[in-house]
A = this chain, B = another copy of it.
């Protein structure tokens, strides 16, 4: 077999293992829920639905971090770690969608929307939207607990005081801090100095996304396999700029992407008021009246298609899109350079290269 097909078959086996483990784990939880009341079954149902899809980027980063540090293929502990990461990601998405008022996720209704629909079809009393939000807050909490429960099942390698446990703890705290910075910038950004907006947006993506989506999962896999500090340091030099580039790609897609491909309505990031690096450049580079227009329009949930088009025009004409693409290119180069310096065997090196390429050049 070629390296590419070996990677493919290993990844397929790992992803299949994670999917199987998730199914087994959630089936056990569904039994517990059924013992409480059949009424609570939709909680697990919506978690199952959510963990079925997705790119499994974090689980794969974790896997190749493990393999790169000498961890064997087909090991159940790394499958459990992947499962814990996927459950954590699902928990984050559930709450994120409430916060961002996103009614769709992966092409279907988001969890809070599913619950408000359940309310409507049953003709229940009071407000369906409030019920949906409340149920999704609880479902996210449950999923966050499941993530932890799953992580603990790894056993000794993830025990108190272990490097892997430390990474998992820091990962959770930092992503929540980053998400807070994100919502803070939505409201405080318009009254803070414009000159600092790109730097603030970069800090947000570092904590909200890059550390969480690539750096920590890769390090976690490495730590579980007993990677020395120098390897973890090298991992970080690769994965942090990669994660930043990945999130900036996401932000560009959020404004310019094809809704058919991304599964999210065009302009939703603008309606949510996301103050991304792309927006930060535009606020700084656009002529004053256009920057003011952006400040006024961002976060308006009723933004019309024409207004979205106008914002796109401003972002392109002031050079913000170009500046962002150039930064994505620079960060990608940094990441790929660091990758080639990693003391890895051919298989994990090639796999990480593939993952990195798909992360920064994707269309969805």
Interface of A with B (CB < 8 Å)? 29, 32-33, 36-37, 39-40, 43, 91, 95, 98-99, 119, 122-126, 131, 133-135, 137-142, 144-146, 148-149, 152-156, 159-161, 165, 169-170, 172-174, 176-181, 183-184, 186-191, 203, 207, 273, 299
Residues B181 and A36 in contact, CB atoms below 8 Å apart: yes
Tell which of B133, B155, B159, B177 touches A33, judged by Cβ atoms closer than 8 Å. B177
Tell which of B36, B123, B133, B186 touches A177, judged by Cβ atoms closer than 8 Å. B36
A123 in contact with B183 given A37-B177, A144-B144 (CB within 8 Å):
no
Residues A40 and B125 in contact, CB atoms below 8 Å apart: no
Residues A299 and B176 in contact, CB atoms below 8 Å apart: no
Determine the distance from Cα of A154 to Cα of B169 in the docked complex, in whole angstroms.
Answer: 15
Residues A187 and B124 in contact, CB atoms below 8 Å apart: yes
Nearest CB in chain B: distance from A48 CB, A: 15
Determine the distance from Cα of A160 to Cα of B155 in the docked complex, in whole angstroms.
Answer: 6
Residues A145 and B126 in contact, CB atoms below 8 Å apart: no
Residues A186 and B145 in contact, CB atoms below 8 Å apart: no
A160 in contact with B169 given A141-B140, A207-B36 (CB within 8 Å):
no
Residues B137 and A165 in contact, CB atoms below 8 Å apart: no
Residues A124 and B191 in contact, CB atoms below 8 Å apart: yes
Residues B183 and A125 in contact, CB atoms below 8 Å apart: no
A180 in contact with B40 given A152-B152, A173-B145, A174-B32 (CB within 8 Å):
yes
A126 in contact with B29 given A174-B36, A180-B135, A187-B131 (CB within 8 Å):
no
Residues A125 and B187 in contact, CB atoms below 8 Å apart: yes
* A-B CB contact pairs (8 Å), 24 listed: A36-B174, A36-B178, A36-B207, A39-B184, A40-B181, A43-B176, A43-B177, A91-B141, A122-B191, A125-B189, A131-B186, A135-B184, A138-B176, A141-B141, A141-B176, A142-B177, A144-B145, A145-B169, A145-B172, A145-B173, A152-B152, A155-B159, A155-B160, A159-B159
Determine the distance from Cα of A40 to Cα of B183 in the docked complex, in whole angstroms.
Answer: 11
Tell which of B43, B125, B172, B186 touches A190, judged by Cβ atoms closer than 8 Å. B125
Residue of B nearest to A207 (CB): B36
Determine the distance from Cα of A153 to Cα of B124 in the docked complex, in whole angstroms.
Answer: 44
